[in-house]
Amino acid sequence: MHEKTSVFAQLMAWIHPERFRRCVTRYGGNYKVCRFSCWDQFLAMSFAQITYREGLGDIEICLRSRRDQLYHMGFRSEVAHSTLADANRTRDWRIYADLAQGLIGRARKLYAQEPLGVELAETVYALDSTTIDLCLSLFPWARFRSTKAAVKLHTLLDVRGPIPTMIAISEGKQADVRILDELIPEAGAFYVMDRAYVDFQRLYVWELARAFFVTRTKVGVQLNRLESRPVDRSTGIRSDHIVWLRHPQSVVHYPDRLRRVSYRDPEDGKVLVFLTNNFDLPAEVIAHLYKLRWRVELFFKWIKQNLRIKHFFGTSDNAVKTQVWIAICVYVLVAIIRKELNLELSLSQILQVLSVNAFEQVPLPELVAQTRSQIESPYQCNQLMLWD
């Protein structure tokens, strides 16, 4: 990387121009656009994520204050908040969703060997959603309750990394379980989720696809015990049973065996009961897999704390999805360069370095090394940390 290239430009250089062009062409993003292309839009919104801008006017003022550097950062047009608002409202959000999927594919390869804490070669996914509150008067299309609006961010996370592999944005009132209809189960993979996703008709589709699930059972689910397996109670496992659904309608939806594992958490004494369609892994591994679900919760808290996805720069459905997907692009892009450049700081620390040095013309590895050398004591921060 040329030593006179700005830190922001160094980050954006990891996006292949031809791949970006294909995403734009696929949805006609630059059709009849004379100025302020999709690339300019992406750069402006990425800059807002990295430098913690609070609004479109904030983006405009900050970039115009460094007008002499905009060309070298990749911009080919000046950024006006009205032009950026129009782009966010009208240009198809799927451009940036497709770009994010390409980056996710690269990141997953880089993090494929990250440890899980258990000896397991298969991919493990964590599935969950988080709600983002909105103002009903500004976002009437996202009505959640009579006086409140919200959207849900449904995420399927590859816990090695962790890297989001699927993100869907829905109205806040949509039931979490409906997202199962949009997933294509991967044979041999493990899907870890909470009891909000227990729907036996939908879960049986995963059984037919030879994909494994681990979830908590709901209160009131009636089961017949077919077999009891020996357990080592010193591991926290209380029981390990092969079961069959008792209710006739449930049997119609899931006409096969299940495995029920009861586990007592040694830290708080809470008893958790899991259901899975895997009969081979030790019971303690099933319990550990469910613990990995916490990584998707950590991911949600992290992106809300470090990225701009709680305050939106536009009020349309397209503008909201555009901002979320560009935020995900930035997240995954930083994860990629962290691995490719062997940067030793955590992801949140790298973002902090980028935020105050975006215009600096210093090689990124050198900048991170200088930052790390200046940290004389263990890094103290209230922010959530990924990849410490």
Q: What is the pLDDT of residues 319-372, one digit of tens each?
A: 999 999 999 999 999 999 999 999 888 899 999 999 999 999 999 888 888 887
Minimal CA–CA distance to 30: which of 62, 82, 81, 77?
Answer: 77
Q: Taking 90 as the threshold, does the pLDDT of residue 15 lie above it?
A: yes
Angle between helices 317-340 and 347-357 (to 10 degrees): 110
**271-301 pLDDT per residue, tens:** 999 999 999 999 999 999 999 999 999 999 9
Residue carrying structure tokens 């059972």: 217
Residue carrying structure tokens 């808290």: 301
Cα 165 to Cα 156: distance, rounded to the nearest angstrom: 6
Q: Taking 90 as the threshold, does the pLDDT of residue 383 lie above it?
A: no
Give mean pLDDT, residues 12-33.
Answer: 94
pLDDT at 314: 94
Structural domains of the chain ordered from first start: 7-96+317-374 (no CATH), 195-279 (2.20.25)
Cα 40 to Cα 62: distance, rounded to the nearest angstrom: 15
Minimal CA–CA distance to 346: which of 321, 310, 371, 329?
Answer: 371
Residues 6+ apart with CB under 8 A from 121: none
Mean pLDDT estimate for the chain? 91
Cα 385 to Cα 116: distance, rounded to the nearest angstrom: 17
Cα 319 to Cα 304: distance, rounded to the nearest angstrom: 18
Q: Taking 50 as the threshold, does the pLDDT of residue 43 lie above it?
A: yes
**84-106 pLDDT per residue, tens:** 999 999 999 999 999 999 999 99
pLDDT at 377: 47
φ and ψ at 81, to 5 degrees?
-65, -30
pLDDT at 376: 47
Cα 309 to Cα 303: distance, rounded to the nearest angstrom: 8
